[in-house]
Amino acid sequence: IGDVLRDYSGRIESILLDATSVPTPENSSTPDAMGLPFIPLVEVVERPPPSLPQLRALTNFAVSSNRAVSIRALTRFLHHCPMLQGLSIRTLRSPASTKPEDVEDIAEPALPYLKNIRVDGLLLHTTELLFSKLAPSLKEHMNVQVHFYGLGLPALQYGPAFQKFLSSMRHVHLIY
């Protein structure tokens, strides 16, 4: 997929990545997050992958999977999407959690045109990790829909990144 993105980077306006048919590892109660097929989760020291070009025409990116998407891989990918307007992440909630990820070493992507965010099925800590990386791009006029899985509204008091995000929004659609 990386080769296609390199060859057609100036023309691709929308990507829908449906990974729902990718099997979930059966031998782990908390598997690793699902990576994106064009962004490696770890850097290969011996032979680094060819770099991904700027996807200047890409305005919408949607991903659906059977487990949580890697926020590390997603953040790295978003650095290549300066014109992105819509981001949708859907997890089918099986299993409900993944191993925690460290994303401190990855800078926040600049997404000045981001208008719509839809997050469906991620746990609160994963959603907070995502919003902490999107914080510089969040604006009060955005359309945000978040559908949490497996927790109640009182859990929001424990999420400083999500509380900061909510404090700047005018219209937020939360589903539990």
Structure tokens at 73: 């891989």
- Residue 168 — φ and ψ, nearest 5°? -100, -5
pLDDT(117) > 90: yes
The reported pLDDT for the residue numbered 61 is 95
C-alpha–C-alpha distance, residues 19 and 154, integer Å: 32
Average the pLDDT over 111-128 and give the result.
Answer: 87
Q: How far apart are CA 112 and CA 101, in angstroms?
A: 25
Q: How far apart are CA 75 and CA 52, in angstroms?
A: 13
pLDDT higher than 80, residue 162: no
Bond from prior residue into 160 cis (ω within 30 degrees of 0): no
Between 94 and 25, the more confident residue is 25
Task: Tell me the average pLDDT across 95-106.
Answer: 69
Query: Which tens digit of pLDDT belongs to each residue from 122-152?
Result: 877 788 888 888 888 888 778 888 886 655 5
pLDDT, tens digit (0-9, with 9 covering 90-100), for 38-97:
654 444 434 434 577 888 999 999 999 887 788 888 998 999 999 999 999 998 865 545
pLDDT top residue among 17 and 1? 17
What's the residue count for the chain?
Answer: 176
Three-class SS of the chain: CHHHHHHCCCCCCEEEEEECCCCCCCCCCCCCCECECCECCCCCCCCCCCCCCCCCCCCEEEEEECCCECHHHHHHHHCCCCCCCEEEEEECCCCCCCCCCCCCCCCCCCCCCCCEEEEECCCHHHHHHHHHHHHHHCCCCCEEEEECCCCCHHHHHHCHHHHHHHHHCCCEEEEC
The predicted model gives 156-174 an average pLDDT of 63
Region 100-105: what's the mean pLDDT?
78
**Cα–Cα dist 90/24, whole Å:** 15
Predicted pLDDT of residue 73: 87
